[in-house]
Amino acid sequence: MAEEASVKSLIFEELNGGASCRTYLIACARTREAIVVDPVLELVPVYLQRLGRDRLQLLATVDTHTHADHLSGGRELARLPGALYVGAPMAAVDRTLRDGEYMNVGDIRVKVWASPGHTADGLVLLLEDRVLTGDTLLIGSSGRTDLPSGDAEAAYASLDRLLTLPSHMLVYPAHDYGGRTFSTIGHERVTNPRLRMDRAAFIEEMNTRRMVPPSRLAESLAYNSRPREAGETAPREEAFLI
């Protein structure tokens, strides 16, 4: 009964209108508490409007990794009273998230898995019937490992861990470039070429790939990794983190 109640309480939306960069709202319909995952700086006004429309109380913004292709809106959105900026990167957030801990968003429990590979600080977020895979697992692919702190061996281990999830689990990545909204673990297990490679083949593939760097690489890394501002003090740790 508890699982059924929490699923019914879940408000879950992608907030960027299907753009290649995805931002997710997770909220509880009963308590009106919410988190926003992987917000984009330029779209912060859109997120504020969405929160205000249903009078949602923002508990936290979450970045699943250090983004190298866009400016994060995590810190700016978390300026709302009572909100925290959590996740990655370590120097920028109010609080990092540890493997195995939970965020309680009203009736919704969000479990954190460390998921290094695309970046060293990568995370995935698990709900009862879905997983937000960040840039670890993409639909039909996986996150590149040739950017700063990328590691092909770690990426293989993180993907292997995701494959322990049930086949019916929905997959919502931080990016998709083909207009797709979601997949499932079972579908990716069967159809994703990266997931059908053995460890040696995967590592060789990822270490020999040469991709064009993101156009905003230097700007994004500098902005997203900047330390918290001088004189800025971290808010108290909220009870929703356990």
- Domain ranges in the chain are 2-211
Q: Give the tokens for residue 225.
A: 């990794």
Number of neighbours of residue 222 by Cβ within 10 angstroms: 11
pLDDT in tens, 165-221: 999 999 999 999 999 999 999 999 999 999 999 999 999 999 998 889 999 999 999
Q: What mean pLDDT is predicted for residues 127-136? A: 98
Q: Residues 234, 96: contact at Cβ < 8 Å?
A: no
Distance CA 202, CA 97 (A): 28
Say if domain 2-211 classifies as CATH 3.60.15.10: yes
Who contacts 190 (Cβ-Cβ below 8 Å, separation ≥6)? none
Burial class (CB in 10 A: 0-12, 13-18, 19+), 96: middle
* pLDDT confidence bin for 7, thresholds 50/70/90: low
pLDDT in tens, 97-120: 999 999 999 999 999 999 999 999
Asked if the model's pLDDT at residue 66 lies above 90, the reply is: yes
Q: Residues 83, 58: contact at Cβ < 8 Å?
A: yes
User: Is residue 21 helix, strand or coil?
Assistant: strand
pTM of the predicted model, to two decimals?
0.94
Distance CA 152, CA 74 (A): 27
Q: Residues 176, 189: contact at Cβ < 8 Å?
A: no
Burial class (CB in 10 A: 0-12, 13-18, 19+), 106: buried
Distance CA 4, CA 152 (A): 38
Residue from 149, 130, 111, 123 nearest 63 by CA: 123
